[in-house]
Amino acid sequence: MSEVIPFYPKHARVEESEAEPAVCPACPRHCRLPEDALGACRARRERDGIVMDDNYGRLTSIAIDPIEKKPLVRFHPGTRVLSVGSYGCNLRCPWCQNHAIAQVGEHEVRWREVLPAELVRMAVFERERDPEMIGIAYTYNEPLCGWEYVRDCAELALAEGLENVLVSNGCFDERVIREIAPLIDAANIDLKAFDEETYRFIGGDLACVKRTISLLAATPTCHLEVTCLIVPGVNDTPREMERLSRWLAAVDEDITLHVTRFHPAWRFSDRQPTDRALVRSLAEVAREALPNVYLGNM
């Protein structure tokens, strides 16, 4: 029998007499947090020697969206999901479209507490009103900063016959992904680039995201799609798209890839939108390796 590894490593739990900070195991940043401190994501806090999700049940956004908006194009097309988000993110993409909630903390945004049972009741109620409403999407900010909330909601949702959809940057510890994956019916992972230096620039880790994609692709109950936002001067070369798409095809050639056009946002507000012809040409590069490639934001 293989050794059972506790989710929280030994140094994440400290005695009161010790001064050593707790270490958050959720993502590659591994924030070392003194008493009551927040992590870089602004969503996880040290409490009694353990780092946990401080944004549990704190929703900043609730809406009913078409499934295609996630984006998911090959998972129950034409249906709708109850989309929810909180605040916080473990990455710092300067082009963040949802920076007003993803790049802030609890005191910088309005939120409402919705605990898992209430959220699932809301989704069931909406399904009774609209048979095309199939489940819950965890989205908008980075939902896995509060993976415990996603887990608890998803377990209750599955018991009610609801679908669970995850929209994430995927830059999280393998143990988080293994805990969540069996509960997720469909996921869209935002693959920011296929270059380690770019991931360092935004505070992430490419190898970690690749592992997440591989784990979700290997989960038989999870439909997987991937999005790559083409940001001018960041990840817009044919060579990078070739490497990215070939790697995805090696994982599973049935993975759907969305090649998406950048529009100015947040700290990249002074940039020009990605040239449409460039987005189309990069999609053609991806189609040499993958049969299911779609354009977005065109």
Query: What are the structural domains of the chain?
Result: 58-296 (3.20.20.70)
Q: Is 27 exposed, middle or buried (0-12, 13-18, 19+ CB in 10 A)?
A: buried
Residue-wise pLDDT for 282-292, tens only, equals 999 999 999 99
Residue-wise pLDDT for 240-277, tens only, equals 999 999 999 999 999 999 999 999 999 999 999 999 99
Residue 19: predicted pLDDT:
56
**Which residue's entry shows tokens 């007003």?**
100
- Residue 9 predicted with pLDDT over 70: no
What are the contacts of 10-13 at 24+ separation with CB within 8 A?
12/49, 12/50, 12/51, 13/49, 13/50
pLDDT band at 18 (very low <50, low <70, confident <90, very high): low
Residue-wise pLDDT for 177-235, tens only, equals 999 999 999 999 999 999 999 999 999 999 999 999 999 999 999 999 999 999 999 99
Residue 128: predicted pLDDT:
97
Residue-wise pLDDT for 156-173, tens only, equals 999 999 999 999 999 999
Residue 16: predicted pLDDT:
43
- Residue 14 predicted with pLDDT over 90: no
- Residue 6 predicted with pLDDT over 50: no
Residue 79: predicted pLDDT:
98
